[in-house]
Amino acid sequence: MAQDDNMAGMNHDMGHMDHMKMDHDTGDMAGMDHMHHMGNFKQKFWVSLVAAIPVFVLSPFMGLHLPFQFTFPGSDWVVLILASFLFFWGGQPFFSGARSELKAKNPAMMTLITMGIGVAYIYSLYAFIGNNFLHTAHIMDFFWELASLIVIMLLGHWIEMSATMSAGNALEKMAALLPGEAHVLTPDGQTQDVALADLKQGQTVLIQAGEKIPADGDVISGSSAVNEALVTGESKAVKKENGARVIGGSVNGNGTLTVRVTGTGETGYLAQVGKLVSQAQAEKSRAETMADRVAKWLFYAALSVGIVAFFVWLAVADMNVALNRLVTVLVIACPHALGLAIPLVVARSTSLAATNGLLIRDRRAIESVKQLDTVLMDKTGTLTEGVFKVNAVQSFDDAMSEDQVLTVFAQLEANSSHPLATGILDEAKARQINAPAASDVQTVQGVGLTGKIDGQDYAVVTAKYLRSQNVAFDADGFAQLAAAGNSISYLVSGQHVLGLVAQGDQIKPESAAFISALHQLNIQPVMLTGDNEPAAQAVAAQLGDITVHAELRPEDKEKIVREYQSKGHHVMMVGDGINDAPSLARADIGVAIGAGTDVAIDSADVILVKSNPKDILSFLNLAKATNRKMTENLWWGAGYNIIAIPLAAGVLAGVGFVLSPAVGAIVMSMSTVIVAINAMTLHMRD
């Protein structure tokens, strides 16, 4: 049949979902290489906080004894022991991260944190030895500041991991859609309950009325209406009969189905969706790379400024003051807020997207929205319902009736899942036409299909193909049917047109409002379709101001994407079928409507679980809000360091102001809290 807007079926195999939990329990999530392998931040935070409280009580704050502080003989030893525990145990995650960064010759966040707490501990140890054994002039230590820095940073990373894990929780919710066991049919016709993890490809399972479907598979007997709302977001029950595919996680209706499992493990539909979310977390966006680059230069800047300040203060004061300034610069350069600036926002954004049916496969797509000015869209299934109804069947051969023409169409389309094929098969069923499938059926990309019936060759093609092959047909009749918005498929044998089937599709109720909203955002909508020009223009007339490119083959769509890009446009491509794959991969942002298709897994940057074009607006709004929060947090994070480092070095010492490590730590913690709160205020906007 005419493959004008080819849609891929949800044909992924379904297996057990244990792997979808990734390695959350061990804290090892892809994409957070320098953080998630470093232990349980929650546990480290609470233990470190308990150890830090005595330090806060027994250790002076910048040499001052606060009202709640006291000392007793040997209290300085207690402080040293607890501070050492905090440094070596609480600081271990930062040491591991710094080691990885330095090994890669790319000092960044963890290196700065390690430098800050390392300098604070070593200087405090020097002060302890000097005060207790060398009996020199009293040297101020930084145990209080060390404890507060470690506790604050552990708290921040716990918050970050909690935010990041929220997108992972969405995976666990999807995994929970599946039942714990499956009823496997044994060779003697009995059923045996098997754990989902042990379900194997090729096994046959029995699904009772009201049960969750345990795996992707093919129905081999039975009939039922299956609710796929929990999986695809579509509320309409889908009738499943012999030969139909079912998706693991959907809910069976009143009938009983016997299903052959078509796959296990990572090939399942929900597993593929889970992989998309985990891949999203594994991707590093350009903004994160920029934050890491800023941290690297901040490391070098802090080290340079600290060394210069040391020698300057050594010249104008003494060693104790010079060391104090060096320590102050290195301690307060700790980039906690900067380190959290981007990950917290992206984690929050990914979580919001996942829980609202937007699966972001490549987070760089979020940043590309800033330059977006053109949205190219497939027609069928994106702007229209993709549910075709036969409006006309015509015969051009005196030896064939309309029902005979429809019969041949149905035989050729018997095994196709294309929407146009579905419309033909539904019409044949309504007319009580039941004929065996044709043999040697082959799809001709962008043209239609061919097959044999009773030894005779037939083809289903488009009007464009007939014109290109100079095959005579009723052009006036075609124009009349196409002008009414019909997609028209011709039945051909040799050079003779035997008949046609004209089918109409319905525009989605929200499509016109979606096109209008794009114009309000100064984004030009463009419709790409393999359908005939009159039918495409009829749809466009109902949508409003939209550019139309019709009668396209898959390579034509990809070429048009390149043409727009060559003219300086930043392009989003929206599609839902195999023939959209080249253009989805080529576009600056590829968006697949209808999760679970091959193209969604292989080509798109963003997957819309619900087949609702308005969700594209939700993505655009979320991406813009995410970019705004990224910029705000980068300024909060980097701004603190830009101001604090020179102040800590003593550039205002001439007017009597020198920033202490304690004040620097307080300001740093405030900056961190602001960054975290700012990230968590990101929300979806209707």
pLDDT in tens, 521-542: 999 999 998 878 888 888 898 8
Q: What CATH number is attached to the domain comprising 229?
A: 2.70.150.10
Give residue 452's pLDDT.
92
Considering the domain boundaries, does residue 620 fall inside one? no
Considering the domain boundaries, does residue 272 fall inside one? no
Same-domain status, 282 and 226: no
Same-domain status, 319 and 372: no
Taking the alpha carbons at both ends of the chain, their separation in whole angstroms is: 40
Mean pLDDT value across residues 251-264: 85
Helix ranges (DSSP H) in 333-394: 336-355, 364-368
Mean pLDDT value across residues 612-630: 90
Q: Domain containing 440: what range? A: 389-504
Q: How far is CA 228 from CA 309, 451, 510, in A?
A: 66, 33, 21
Give residue 20's pLDDT.
33
Considering the domain boundaries, does residue 271 fall inside one? no
Amino acid at 280: A
* Coil vs helix vs strand at 152: helix
| C-alpha triplet 277, 282, 283: angle, nearest 5° | 100
Q: What CATH number is attached to the domain comprising 523?
A: 3.40.50.1000
Chain mean pLDDT for the chain? 79
Same-domain status, 484 and 512: no
Q: Give backbone dihedrals phi and psi of 408, rounded to 5 degrees, phi first.
A: -65, -45
More reliable by pLDDT, 357 or 259: 259
Considering the domain boundaries, does residue 299 fall inside one? yes
Taking only the tens place, the pLDDT of each residue in 50-71 is: 999 999 999 876 555 667 778 8
Q: How far is CA 303 from CA 112, 307, 310, in A?
A: 10, 6, 10
From 449, 478, 504, give the residue that closes a domain.
504
Same-domain status, 511 and 499: no
- Residues labelled as active-site residues: 378
Give residue 24's pLDDT.
33
Give residue 617's pLDDT.
92
Same-domain status, 583 and 474: no
Taking only the tens place, the pLDDT of each residue in 99-141 is: 988 998 888 778 878 888 888 899 889 889 988 888 776 777 8
| C-alpha triplet 298, 302, 303: angle, nearest 5° | 120
Strand bridging mode 589-593 / 389-395:
unpaired
Q: What band does 599 get if pLDDT is binned at 50, 70 and 90?
A: very low
Same-domain status, 251 and 285: no
Q: What CATH number is attached to the domain comprising 423?
A: 3.40.1110.10
Strands (E), 594-640: 606-608
Considering the domain boundaries, does residue 5 fall inside one? no
Q: What band does 23 get if pLDDT is binned at 50, 70 and 90?
A: very low
Q: How far is CA 285 from CA 342, 362, 639, in A?
A: 9, 8, 21
From 261, 289, 322, give the residue that closes a domain.
261
Q: What band does 686 get if pLDDT is binned at 50, 70 and 90?
A: low
Has residue 267 got a pLDDT over 80? Answer: no
Give residue 273's pLDDT.
52
Same-domain status, 297 and 330: yes
If you write DSSP's letter for every residue of 310-335 in order, what string do you get?
HHHHHHHS-HHHHHHHHHHHHHHT--
Residue 607 pairs in a beta bridge with 359, 592
CA distance 348 to 130: 48
Considering the domain boundaries, does residue 523 fall inside one? yes
pTM assigned to the model: 0.59
Least confident of 191-200, 379-388, 620-629: 379-388
Considering the domain boundaries, does residue 8 fall inside one? no
Has residue 185 got a pLDDT over 50? Answer: yes
Taking residue 104's Cβ as centre, other Cβ atoms within 10 Å add up to 11
- Report CA torsion sign: 387, 390, 396, 399: positive
Same-domain status, 140 and 205: no
Q: What band does 166 get if pLDDT is binned at 50, 70 and 90?
A: very low
Cα-based torsion angle of the residue sequence 638, 640, 641, 645 in order, rounded to the nearest 10 degrees: 160
Same-domain status, 289 and 438: no
Query: DSSP code of 78?
Result: H
Considering the domain boundaries, does residue 621 fall inside one? no
Number of domains in the chain: 4
CA distance 249 to 228: 8
Same-domain status, 199 and 316: no
* Coil vs helix vs strand at 508: coil
Same-domain status, 399 and 446: yes
